[in-house]
C-alpha cells in the first residue's frame, strides 16, 4: 500500500483544487491511500529561527507526514501570477530538512490557466529536490459552482483519468516506468 499526501494550495471552503484532490483520493487505485493534508491554514509563517527544537507543532506534523509519505500530490491555485502564500509557506517549512529530498511529487491542476503558478511550483519543488513526476492531470473546474464541480468529478471519464493519474504516479514511485497519458 502506498501512502500519498495531497496538499491543496487553497483554503477556500468551496475550493476547486481541494475538490479535485478529494476526488483523486476517492478514485485512487486500491493499493494507494491518498490522504489530504488539512493543516495549511494553521502553519505559522516560516522563520528559520523557529526550526529544529523550536519547530512549531503544525510544521513538525507536516514535516513528519511528508517524511513518512511515499509521495506527494499538489493542486494549487494561482494568485497574481504566483502561488498562494500558504502553499509557499508550507514548502518553506520543508526546505531545510530531508523530508523533500528525493520525495516523489506530482502536480495536478483544477484550472486550465495558472501557468505561472505551475512553473513556479515545479521550479521550487525541483530546487528542494522533490522527484517531480513528469505526468499529472488537469480537470478544468475554474469558476464552477460546487454542484457543477461534483458532477464533473463524478463523470466516468474523469474518474478514470484520476485513477489513471494516481496509478501512473504510483507506478513511477515503485520504479515500474509507467508513463502517464497526460
Rank residues 2 and 83 by Cβ distance to ligand FMN and give the closer one: 83
According to CB under 6 A, which one of 54, 81, 145, 174 is a site residue for ligand FMN?
A: 81
Q: State yes or no: residue 17 binds ligand FMN (CB under 6 A).
A: yes
**DSSP 3-state percent helix, strand, coil across the chain (nearest 5):** 45, 20, 35
CA nearest neighbour of 63 among 73, 55, 54, 71? 55
Under 8 Å between Cβ of 89 and 11: no
Work out which of 45, 101, 140, 142 binds ligand FMN, going by CB under 6 A.
142
Q: Which is nearer to ligand FMN, 17 or 27 (CB)?
A: 17
Q: Which residues contact 86 (CB under 8 A, 6 or more apart)?
A: 9, 11, 40, 41, 43
Interaction of residue 68 with ligand FMN, rule CB under 6 A: no
Asked if 114 is part of the footprint of ligand FMN (rule: CB under 6 A), the reply reads: yes
Residues lying near ligand FMN in the complex (CB under 6 A): 10, 12, 15-17, 77-81, 110-111, 113-114, 142
Amino acid at each position: 500500500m502506498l501512502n500519498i499526501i495531497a496538499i491543496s494550495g487553497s483554503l477556500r471552503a468551496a475550493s476547486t483544487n481541494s475538490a479535485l484532490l478529494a476526488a483523486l483520493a476517492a478514485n485512487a487505485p486500491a493499493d494507494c491511500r491518498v490522504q489530504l493534508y488539512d493543516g495549511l491554514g494553521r502553519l505559522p509563517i516560516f522563520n528559520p529561527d523557529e526550526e529544529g527544537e523550536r519547530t512549531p507543532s503544525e510544521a513538525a506534523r507536516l514535516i513528519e507526514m511528508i517524511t513518512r509519505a511515499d509521495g506527494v500530490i499538489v493542486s494549487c491555485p494561482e494568485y497574481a501570477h504566483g502561488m498562494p502564500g500558504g502553499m509557499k509557506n508550507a514548502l518553506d517549512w520543508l526546505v531545510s530538512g530531508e523530508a523533500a529530498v528525493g520525495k516523489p511529487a506530482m502536480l495536478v491542476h483544477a484550472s486550465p490557466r495558472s501557468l505561472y503558478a505551475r512553473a513556479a511550483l515545479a521550479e521550487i519543488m525541483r530546487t528542494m529536490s522533490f522527484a517531480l513526476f513528469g505526468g499529472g492531470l488537469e480537470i478544468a473546474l475554474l469558476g464552477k459552482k460546487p454542484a457543477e464541480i461534483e458532477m464533473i468529478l463524478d463523470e466516468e471519464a474523469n474518474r478514470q483519468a484520476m485513477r489513471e493519474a494516481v496509478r501512473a504516479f504510483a507506478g513511477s514511485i515503485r520504479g515500474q516506468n509507467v508513463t502517464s497519458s497526460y
